[in-house]
Amino acid sequence: MNYESFFQMSFEPFANIPDTRFFFETNQHKMALLRLMHAADKMRGFALLVGDVGTGKTTVARKLLAYLTRSPKFQTGLIVLTHENFSDEWLFTRIGQIIGLKDTTNLMKDPMNILTKQLINLDREGKKTVILIDEANKLSDSRIVEQIRGFLNLELNDRRIITFILIGVPELERHILQNESLQQRIAARTYLKSLSRDETFGYIKYRLSVVGANISSIFTPDSVDLIHSYSNGRPRLINTICDNALLEAAFLQRVPVDSMMIEEVSESLGLKKQQFGNFKREL
Ligand SMILES: Nc1ncnc2c1ncn2[C@@H]1O[C@H](COP(=O)(O)OP(=O)(O)OP(=O)(O)O)[C@@H](O)[C@H]1O
Ligand SMILES: [Mg+2]
């Protein structure tokens, strides 16, 4: 069943994907984006975007990537670390592809040298190379962390020729802190926290407005309070609760969504137990 037609929405408002059409600029998301854009533009070398699970790090990273890709002065790309056991070869090859190396087959014979030459070529063309690494908390291998530090030593006439932006949950900082030399090179750091009650309201209102709907006819103020409380202000959980509540409301033809419905939905998602059990599950 699809609730969009019931609510006369043009498309799904609460899908859990980092869709830039829905980007809601809270102060902290805006600030994060600004700081990272600045770090990229000034080629600061090394910047971090850290935050708790589901607070919007990947969404900000995608927005940043879209901005950098649009500008011809950047050579950029996003690497997502899906697991911890990746090899140097895999990482070097991904960096090589992003910086436009045509042939990466012989890269591992002398990776730093080959990549550096290409970075210098890009610098001569006036391009700033910015590599984004999402899920960088999976960079647990100190050897690979050291290789990233190695890149940061590359400078040409006092100009850096590569900037890394690492994105991840707080564990990322623990890995970085182990490498003092890398830690000292952090030129910008931004931390995403959960949304406040007002930001949660604004977030839901904005998403509904994008699909042509009005919050006051869909959620009662009390229901928004509860959504904030059960989600802890984490956007991913806000989406999940709202999505389930809209489905329920359309099925029961009961509008607006009230606090009782949010209680039921949160219970069925297992969020109520967590609140009282001091244990948080991430959906
Ligand atoms: N500022 C925002 N505007 C609109 N939607 C957002 C925003 N922040 C987060 N979201 C939504 O919340 C969901 C979770 O966000 P995202 O995947 O960016 O979180 P994350 O911090 O990268 O999570 P994880 O720690 O699991 O990697 C996204 O799918 C997106 O739909
Ligand atoms: Mg993410």
Instruction: For the chain, report the end-to-end CA distance as a whole number of angstroms.
Output: 22
8 Cα: distance to centroid of ligand 2 (angstroms): 31
CATH of residue 226's domain is 1.10.8.60
Which residue range is the domain that position 32 belongs to? 27-192
Same domain, residue pair 199 and 188 = no
Pick from 157, 192, 227: which residue ends a domain? 192
- Say what the pLDDT of residue 278 is: 46
Q: Which residues pair with 155 in a beta bridge?
A: 160
Q: What are the tens digits of pLDDT across the range 56-109?
A: 999 999 999 999 999 999 999 999 999 988 888 999 999 999 999 998 889 999
Same domain, residue pair 51 and 114 = yes
Q: What are the tens digits of pLDDT across the range 123-164?
A: 999 999 999 999 999 998 888 888 888 888 887 777 899 999
CA-238 nearest atom, ligand 1 = 12
Same domain, residue pair 146 and 212 = no
Same domain, residue pair 187 and 213 = no
Same domain, residue pair 118 and 209 = no
Q: What are the tens digits of pLDDT across the range 96-113?
A: 999 999 988 899 999 999
Residue nearest to atom 13 of ligand 1 (CA): 236
Number of domains in the chain: 2
Same domain, residue pair 46 and 173 = yes
pLDDT grade for 274, boundaries at 50, 70 and 90: low
**Average pLDDT of the chain to the nearest whole number:** 92
Q: What are the tens digits of pLDDT across the range 197-235?
A: 999 999 999 999 999 999 999 999 999 999 999 999 999
Same domain, residue pair 80 and 100 = yes
Pick from 140, 159, 192: which residue ends a domain? 192
pLDDT grade for 175, boundaries at 50, 70 and 90: confident
- Say what the pLDDT of residue 39 is: 97
Residue nearest to atom 7 of ligand 1 (CA): 56
Residues with CB under 6 A from ligand 1: 16-18, 22-24, 29, 51, 53-59, 169, 235-236, 239
CA-62 nearest atom, ligand 1 = 18
Same domain, residue pair 200 and 153 = no
CA-24 nearest atom, ligand 1 = 3
